[in-house]
Structure 1
Amino acid sequence: MKLLNIIRITAVLFIVFVATLLLLDRWVSAQTESQIYHDPAKLPAYKVGLVLGTSKYIAKTLNPYYTYRMSAAIDLYKKHKVDVFLVSGDNAHRSYNEPRTMKRDLLKAGVAKDEIVLDYAGFRTLDSVVRAKEVFDTNHFVIITQQFHCERALFIADHYNINATCLAVKEPQRGVASFKIRVREVFARVKAMIDLFVLHVQPKFLGPKEPIIDPLIKTQPNLLPVASTENVPIDTTAPSSAIKTIP
């Protein structure tokens, strides 16, 4: 009889635990629903698009999560929805460098070199989102990733008063792998809440600001000195459309 009671209590505790996880998961989704776009045509134009990194290959097989993020980013660029990309990811070691891999693929797709900014310290979603504001000095940007990732990234952004939206890109068809990722996401959200509300975790690295500046803002032309009182036309150079990062 005692063993039966232990089993019952264990079962109840397990049900409560799972129910709590699911409620927290749904809460994150509900909190960020209004900030997520699914149709690129309805997305407003942004100066900066933050592409969250992931591995390009999984066991020598092309990772569809990576492919869909990059395809969506390139599509936004070609439709003039994003001017510059901030590609943020892990730079664990010499043979694994997410930002560099993303940059290489963007360049192959025709994105200008000076319209790609690399964040090598995007070790976690929190690092990538917070560093976009604190290091790269942008507080109005669109995040590019899958919906489940959008929701967690925006939840973190809202906590840090960062003005961000997200384009939810295509996800692989449902299967065992997708289910595992979704289950892992539930625990990732709980960890994010602990980091934000309990531990008050900050990015692993911050450092000096490296603002992303629009060079279209030119200095005011100076009047040329002339003997007469009439104005002389001033020759100005057409501004570049590139966006660069101040070192």
Structure 2
Amino acid sequence: MKLRPLPQSVRTRAATWLRPRRIAKLVTAAVLAALLVGAGSVLWVRFTTDEYLYSAQTAPNADVAIIFGAEVYRDGTPSEFLAARLDLGKQLLDSGKVKALLLTGDNGRETYSEPDSMRRYLIGKGVPAAKIALDYAGFSTYESCARAHRIFGVGSAIVVTQDFSLPRTVALCRSVGIDALGVGDDGRLHDTTYRRNWLRDQLATTKAIYSIVVQPDPTFLGRQETTVRDAMAADPR
């Protein structure tokens, strides 16, 4: 069967749409729209969470500090970012700002466990094991927040992460029903790793808006656990 050629008018319109200048304009418009959405997301999250951000010294009391996982090295030691978060969590516990620590992170591989590494680090610093609860299915900030509320029964918390992640983290935890305040590590301000992670976190804020609006279920739910309540009630000695 012989195909009939397209009418001249159709070919002319197609050629007009495919002109390099028009394509460049469309690409530019798409990039600008993406930048506006990203900037709008960051500004909205920062505006709505600013009143909930504190230092470790000025934060009001809460039931528990949720410490979010980050990179763990091959030898099982926490990365510098993660160690800074853990030190802040210990400070909050030692000062009586919180009654327990919930360590949440990735344990998606048999040979990799952020919560276990975090627990070893804190116990090595003198934190009583009984004051620590673990969440092995914190595969993202949103999932950690959702599981803290739905599985571990957390109602009020101080969330602990780097300062550049704090607005997004507070917004996510508050969106799932936790009365969340934030305390962030502000170290390494001039380090290239800090700047790279800062930029990545701004991009992640757009995804956070989706989670805040849609409220998807975490990867794993399961039965409710009492480990946070047990840690809160445990004798710190």
For the criterion TM > 0.5, the same-fold answer is yes
Structure 1: unaligned runs, 5 residues or longer: 218-239
Are the equivalent residues in 2 in contact too, given 1:64–1:172 (CA < 8 A)? no
User: Which deviates further from its counterpart, 56-65 or 136-145?
Assistant: 56-65
Give me the TM-score of the superposition, normalised by structure 1. 0.79
Q: Is the partner of 2:63 in helix, strand or coil?
A: strand
Whole-Å Cα distance in 1 between the matches of residues 185 and 232 of structure 2? 30
Q: Judge conservation of contact 2:172–2:211 (CA < 8 Å) in 1.
A: no
Of the structure 1 ranges 102-111 and 155-164, higher mean CA displacement relative to structure 2 is found in 155-164
Q: Report deviation, 1:33.
A: 0.8
3-state secondary structure, aligned to 1:46? coil
Does residue 235 of structure 2 align to residue 241 of structure 1? yes
Q: Is the 8 A contact 1:130 1:157 kept in 2?
A: yes
Q: Read off the aligned partner of 1:41 and give its amino acid letter.
A: Q
Structure 2 residue matching 1:167: 3-state secondary structure: strand
CA distance in 2, matches of 1:9, 1:202: 36
Q: 2:155 touches 2:178 (CA, 8 Å); kept in 1? A: yes
| Percent of aligned positions that are identical | 25
Greater helix share, structure number: 2
Q: Which residue of 2 aligns with 1:154?
A: 170
In 1, are the aligned partners of 2:99 and 2:232 still within 8 Å (CA)? no
The aligned counterpart of 2:135 is 119
Instruction: Please give the alpha-carbon distance, in whole angstroms, between the structure 2 residues aligned to 1:59 and 1:7.
Output: 49
Other-structure match for 2:33: 16
Determine the C-alpha separation between the residues in 2 that align with 1:242 and 1:202: 34
Which amino acid in structure 2 is aligned with residue 24 of structure 1? S
Aligned position for 1:27 = 44
What do the CA deviations read for 1:37-81 (whole angstroms, capped 9, x no partner)?
Answer: 1x2221122331111011133899963211211111122222222
Q: Which amino acid aligns with 2:30?
A: L
Cα separation, partners in 2 of 1:216 and 1:140, compared to 1, 3 Å: closer
C-alpha separation in 2, matches of 1:148 and 1:45 = 22
Report the Cα offset of residue 214 of structure 1.
6.0
1:203 aligns with 2:218: yes
Q: Are residues 1:83 and 2:99 paired? A: yes
Q: For residues 2-23 of structure 1, give each alpha carbon's deviation from its aligned partner in whole angstroms, at most 9, with x where no partner exists.
A: 4233323422332232122112
Aligned-pair CA distance for 1:152 = 1.3
Indicate if the aligned counterparts of 2:161 and 2:185 stay in contact, CA closer than 8 A: yes
Partners of 1:121 and 1:216 in 2: how far apart? 21
Contact 1:51–1:69, Cα closer than 8 Å, also in 2 = yes
Match of 1:187 in 2: 203
Answering whether residue 160 of structure 2 is matched by residue 144 of structure 1, we say: yes
TM-score by length of structure 2 reads 0.82
In the alignment, structure 2 segments of 5+ residues that lack a partner are 1-15
